């Protein structure tokens, strides 16, 4: 599985007093953390669980999107 290739968004939430993480390609897959590092670590675990559950349930697993921009 290409678990490490899914897009991850990290945003600060004043309401939650935490970094909130979403994975746009994986519906409903979200997590949070007190630090950016913790949030990213939790995101990796959430993605793994999401993919494992989808596979067990026979649901379609989306392919990770390709980067369409430029770093320059």
In a domain, 7, yes or no: yes
Residue 13's domain comprises: 3-57
Give the CATH number, domain containing residue 46: 3.30.160.250
- pLDDT tens track of the chain, all 72 residues? 677 899 999 999 999 999 999 999 999 999 999 999 999 999 999 999 999 999 999 999 999 988 777 766
Number of structural domains found in the chain: 1
Residue corresponding to tokens 């921009």: 69
C-alpha 5/C-alpha 15 separation (Å) is 29
Q: Residue 39: which of 65, 15, 64, 12 has the closest Cα? A: 12
Task: Tell me phi and psi for residue 27, to 5 degrees.
Answer: -50, 130
Does any domain span residue 18?
yes
Asked, for residue 46, whether it belongs to a domain, the answer is yes
Residue 26 lies in a domain: yes
Tell me, yes or no, whether 16 lies in a domain: yes
| Stated length of the chain | 72
């Amino acid at each position: 599985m290409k678990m490490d290739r899914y897009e991850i968004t990290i945003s600060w939430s004043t309401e939650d007093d935490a970094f909130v993480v979403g994975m746009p390609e994986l519906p409903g897959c979200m997590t949070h953390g007190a630090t950016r590092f913790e949030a990213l670590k939790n995101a990796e675990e959430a993605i793994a669980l999401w993919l494992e559950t989808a596979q067990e349930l026979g649901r379609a697993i989306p392919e990770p999107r390709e980067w369409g921009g430029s770093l320059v």
